[in-house]
Amino acid sequence: MSFIPGQPVTAVVQRIEIQKLREGDNLILGFSIGGGIDQDASQNPFSEDKADKGIYVTRVSKGGPAEVAGLRIGDKIMQVNGWDMTMVTHDQARKRLTKKKEDVVRLLITRKSLEETVRHSMMQH
């Protein structure tokens, strides 16, 4: 999943659609994110490449909408509703995810296991 800045990234991605949970005024996705271009990427425990300033899922609450939708800790979020998340600040990512007007977010995520699965299946054929 490492990449050269400025070069296209190839990644195996999975679409995840999360229906936000409405609790009072709040819309809840039930996961937390870390990372962003304004953050210290070297402290991100999930990234393979410590220079990767992408947005990562750092926590997923039990039974929350994100978990239900299949999101996992360590997933790297590539897009949110079509918006690129690989070059955004932490706050931009958060805002993009927490639009009050959107009940559903569609994520494009990538994770190591996905790549492995794909590689595996490709070797079989």
Partner 1 sequence: MEEYDVPSAASILASVKEQEARFERLTRALEEERRNVSLQLERGSLPSDRLVGGTTGGSNQPLAWQQMVMQEQSPSNQTSMMQEPQEVVEETVTIEEDPGTPTSRVSVVTSEDGTTRRTETKDNVTNMKVTKVVKTITRRTFQPVVLSQSKPSTPIPPSTTSETKPVTKMVKTVTTRTVRQVPMGPDGLPLPEGSSPLGSYTDSIDRRYMKNGERFITPQATSTLTRSYNNYSDSYNDTPDSQFRHYGLHDGYGDMPENYGSLSRGVNYRPYRPYMPTGGYRPENSYTLPIRKEDYGHVAQPQVPMGSSTVDLNRSQPERFQPEPYGLEDDRRSLGPDDEEAYDLEPDYSTANRRTLPGRTIREPLRNGPRVRGYEDPIEAELIDERHPYIHGMYPAPLAQPERGSMASLDRMGGRRSPSIDSIRKDPRWRDPDLPEVIAMLGHPIDPVKSNAAAYLQHLCYENDKIKKDVRQLKGIPVLVSLLDHPKAEVHRKACGALRNISYGKDHDNKVAIKSCDGIPALIRLLRKTNDMEVRELITGTLWNLSSYEPLKMVIINHGLQTMTNEVIIPHSGWEYEPNEDSKPRDAEWTTVFKNTSGCLRNVSSDGAEARRRLRECEGLVDALLHALLSAVGKKDMDNKSVENCVCIMRNLSYHVHKEIPGAEKFQDPSALQGPGSAGTQRKKKDDAGCFGGKKAKEEWFNQGRKNGEHDKNYDTLDLPKRTEPTKGFELLYQPEVVRLYLSLLTESQNYNTLEAAAGALQNLSAGQWTWSNYIRATVRKEKGLPILVELLRSDSDKVVRAVAIALRNLSIDRRNKDLIGSYAMRDLVSNLPSGQQRPAKNLEEDTVVAILNTIHEIITDSSENARSLITAQAIDKLVAINRTSQSARETKAASHVLQTVWSYKELRNGLTKDGWNKTHFQPTATGTPKGSKSCKPGYDDTTLPLMEKNQECLIFHPHFSADGYSTIDQRDKDSKYKSSDGSSDLQEREPLKNDTNRKHYIRSNRPTVSLVDACDVKPQPVDSWV
What tokens does 69 get? 């939708």
Q: Which residues here bind partner 1, judged by CB under 8 A?
A: 21, 23, 25-35, 38-40, 43-46, 58-59, 61-62, 64, 73, 81-83, 90-92, 94-102
- Using the minimum distance from each CB to partner 1, give the nearer residue, 14 or 98: 98
Closest contact distance (angstroms) between CB of 5 and partner 1 is 16
Contact 9, 115 (CB under 8 A): no
Q: How far apart are CA 107 and CA 113, in angstroms?
A: 17
Nearer to partner 1, 14 or 92 (CB): 92
Cα-based angle 37, 42, 46 (whole degrees, multiple of 5): 90
49, 55, 40: which is closest to 92 by C-alpha?
55
CB of 89 to partner 1, least distance (A): 9
- Shortest gap between Cβ of 13 and partner 1 (angstroms)? 16
For partner 1, the closer CB: 22 or 119: 22
Residue (21 or 114) nearer to partner 1, CB: 21
Strand 26-28 to strand 21-23: parallel, antiparallel, or no bridges (unpaired)? Answer: antiparallel
